[in-house]
Structure 1
Amino acid sequence: MSASTGISLKIMATLSSTLMLACVKGLEGALPVGEVIFFRSLVGVMPLLVWLTFQGGIIQGIKTRNVKGHIGRGLAGTCSMYLSYLSLIYISLTDATAINYAAPLFTVLLAAIVLREKVRLNRWLSVAAGFAGIVIMLSGHLSLSGPPRLTVASLASSVGVLLALLSALCTAGALIQIRYLSGKEKPGAIAFWFTAMTGATSLLTLPFGWRLPQGEQLLLLLGCGLCGGLTQILLTLSLRYADASLLAPFDYSSLLWSVIIGLIFLGTLPEKLTLIGASLVAFAGIYAVLSERRQRRRAAALALTARSETADLTPD
């Protein structure tokens, strides 16, 4: 198998993730977000456990030595999920997907501030272009291009946008934690403990309006959980066949899936400004990834040349 297998798995993962969000959107806020997260975790852990069984055993797959790291990743990821699901009550699937593209931009900022990572100029330029795209997307919701119009619809849209942005910020925090954990923990352990933590914390909302799901609601909850679990598996498998830097640009295929799913199943079309802004963010992100890959290859080539020259100068 080749890198094309990894790319295919990555694209399937973005489709599965978008279908999960579409199921949440289809609930239209009829059930409390905490209850939705509980079912997503409960159902989602099942395919994950089956997969871990075939990967050498559940116990070996979820064994961890870094409980604090998983707690930090779990808290950030749970907050991100809660805010993301809540935003879908107020804005469209495509808008929520596009605004979440701010997460990698926030990740660069957090990496520079928290981890003290050195960020090159081209990366800062891509971040600036990405945030420009975010502003373009938000202009349609926040009336940035004209006098403010305070209506119930505009207020709801603004709330949804704010929730989606906060979700992206929490996602960035989770990505920083995953970067820290990935060198020490197995992917299965990271996925399992995140799912377990979201399920456990969602139970804290049990007294706040949980109700027994009916008919279509139950199907949507099952779909949400299954797609969530499948997404975790597909993402892990994709990294077996291709480097993360090669797969990263295909994260943006979720915009295409959200447009198609929104049109077919939800009957919605994205606004022009959303597509323009999201495209700018996507191009900025892809440019950053490709630029990083070029620099890594150049550094590797220079290191190889230096070793060759050293070997030539070493006397026999």
Structure 2
Amino acid sequence: MSSEFKGIALRIGATAFFTLMVVFIKFLADTVPVGQVVFYRSAFALIPLVLYLMLTREFPSGLRTKRPGSHVLRCLLGCMAMFASFASLKFLPLSHASIIGYLAPVLAVALAAVLLREVVSNARWFGVIFGLIGVLILVLPSATAAEVDRAYLIGVGLAFAMAVLTAGAKIQIRSLALTENAGAIAFYFALTCTVAGLATIGFGWVTPTWEQLGLL
């Protein structure tokens, strides 16, 4: 199996798991505070991450880094993107939030060309431009059909912020992946979001029901 095929398979798998996660979060959006959701999502993610690093005999050695500043930037961008993403689901229908989220890979391609000096062919630029147009075609009629009130506009703003921040985080991940352990990149991100989520405990956390706990 070629490395490119593996990469494609992993991206498809990541998208599938991410989609399931977003559906669960949408169920919780109106009853559990965003910070609490971020905490649970991140704290429990540390368990399989540590197990993975232990199985590959890279814990704690695999957490060493020569680029702490890059990790900090990636974690900050990713953490803000997560808060914005989860918060947008409180104000927007899942389909609307997902459609706006498609801007993230479009922006990532543009940033990769500018910041990472990656070569983007004319065909790919063509795809990026039409992808952006496609997002607008999908979003605008939905926005017109929806009740465009203050809450909806807040949701749209959060979703766009999530797309921009996610694109920035993807660029940092791409850069880090050239020299850093993949487990370390994920570990530091999950740890940062766990701490950030826990910091919101004084802002109205709820005692989850068994159903909510299962979704969390």
* Structure 2 length-normalised TM: 0.88
Decide which of 168, 173, 197 is 1:173's aligned counterpart: 168
2:139 is aligned with 1:142: no
> Percent identity of the aligned residues?
40
Task: Output the CA distance in 2 between the equivalents of 1:173 and 1:132.
Answer: 21
CA drift of 1:90 comes to 2.0
Q: Alpha-carbon deviation of 1:73?
A: 0.3
Which residue in the other structure is 1:206 paired with? 201
Distance 1:140 1:160, change over 3 A: farther
Separation in 2, partners of 1:21, 1:67: 29
- Separation in structure 2 between the aligned mates of residue 132 and residue 110 of structure 1, nearest angstrom: 18
The counterpart of 1:215, out of the listed 185, 210, 213, is 210
> Any idea what SS the aligned residue of 2:180 has?
coil
Contact preservation (8 Å) 2:84, 2:162? yes
1:29 deviates by 2.4
SS of corresponding position for 1:211? coil
Aligned to 1:57: 58
The structure with the largest alpha-carbon Rg is: 1
Please give the alpha-carbon distance, in whole angstroms, between the structure 1 residues aligned to 2:138 and 2:90.
Answer: 18
Q: How many residues align?
A: 214
Give 1:157's aligned amino acid.
Y
Structure 1 stretches of 5 or more lacking a match?
144-148, 222-316
Change (3 A) 1:17 1:213: same
Task: String of CA shifts for 1:200-243, please: whole Å, max 9, x gaps.
Answer: 1222222211222222111111xxxxxxxxxxxxxxxxxxxxxx
Unpaired runs of 5+ in structure 2? none
RMSD of aligned Cα (Å): 2.4
CA distance in 1, matches of 2:9, 2:168: 27
For the residue of structure 1 that corresponds to 2:91, the secondary structure is coil
Please report the TM-score for the alignment, with normalisation by the length of structure 1: 0.62
Asked if 1:192 corresponds to 2:187, the answer is: yes
Is the 2:77–2:169 Cα contact (8 Å) retained in structure 1?
yes
1:160 is matched with 155
Equivalent residue for 1:131? Answer: 132
Q: CA deviation at 1:157?
A: 3.1
Over 3 Å counting, the alpha-carbon distance change for 1:2 and 1:177 in structure 2 is closer
Amino acid at match of 2:138: M
Q: Is the 8 A contact 1:142 1:158 kept in 2?
A: no
Residue 159 (structure 1) shift? 2.7
Cα pair 1:80 1:168 within 8 Å, conserved: yes
Q: How does 1:117-128 map to 2 (within 5 A)?
A: 119-128=120-129
**1:94 matches 2:95:** yes
